Every structure is written in C-alpha cells, then in structure tokens.
Amino acid sequence: MSCLACGRKWIVHEEKETDVHLALRLLADAEDDVFDRAILLTADSDLVPVVRMIKQRHPSRHLTVAAPPGRFSGGRHLQKVADSYFELNKRRLARHLLPEKVVDSNGRIVAVRPASYAPAVS
C-alpha cells in the first residue's frame, strides 16, 4: 500500500480465508469418501483442527503434510496430528517439476512452466 499524500509505502497482509476454504473442502471430501490418502502442501497450523477431526471421524484416512521449503518449524503442530510429515526441499521439488511444456493428446501445448521454475543447472 502507499499513501497518496506523502508517498510512504508499507506492506499489508490481507486474510483471504483460503485456509478455511481448504479445511471445509478437505472435511467434505473425507465425509463424501472422495479420498483414502491426502497430501496437504502447507505449514499453516490453522489446519490442525480439521486434520484432527478427520483423523477422529475417519481413522483410516491417511493425511500427509508436506511443508514448503523453509517452513518446517511452522508446521510442527501439524506434524503431531498428521499421519506423516515432511519438508519439501529444492532437490525434491526439482525432481517433480512439470515438463517445460505440457502437451495434450492432440499435440497442443496446454501449459508452459514459468522460466523462473526451471531447475538449476549444476
């Protein structure tokens, strides 16, 4: 944000309720028997209650939490309630990148990986 009068700038964090929507969708999918195993890519401890509830109501559902790089400590509470937990790292991410171009069955390019996502050349 910036002040139009003085030009001063600052960062504002806006709550978009993404964690709430994700929690509701995950719970609904568990209730609707949509998955046996789920992987949550997050370190947001706001999701602890929904993971705990799913494990209580559906103990056979396997929930894995994959923390984004550098966020391992932020997910310690999730680590306690999930079935498994790991932190992604640059090497693991590089092994699982989409190809530079994704092509459909007709040979049309349907997605292009951003250049900034390209694996580091060693």
Please write the tens of the pLDDT for every residue from 8-27. 888 877 667 788 899 999 99
Q: Tell me the C-alpha distance between 52 and 81, whole Å.
A: 6
pLDDT tens figures, 27-61 = 999 999 999 999 998 888 889 999 999 999 999 99
> Quick count: other Cβ atoms within 10 Å of Cβ 86?
15
Residue 101 dihedral angles phi and psi, to the nearest 5°: -130, 135
Give the pTM: 0.67
Domains detected in the chain: 18-88 (3.40.50.1010)
Between CA 4 and CA 65 the distance in angstroms is 43
CA distances to 30, 38, 40, 44, 73 from 66, rounded to whole Å, are: 19, 10, 6, 11, 12
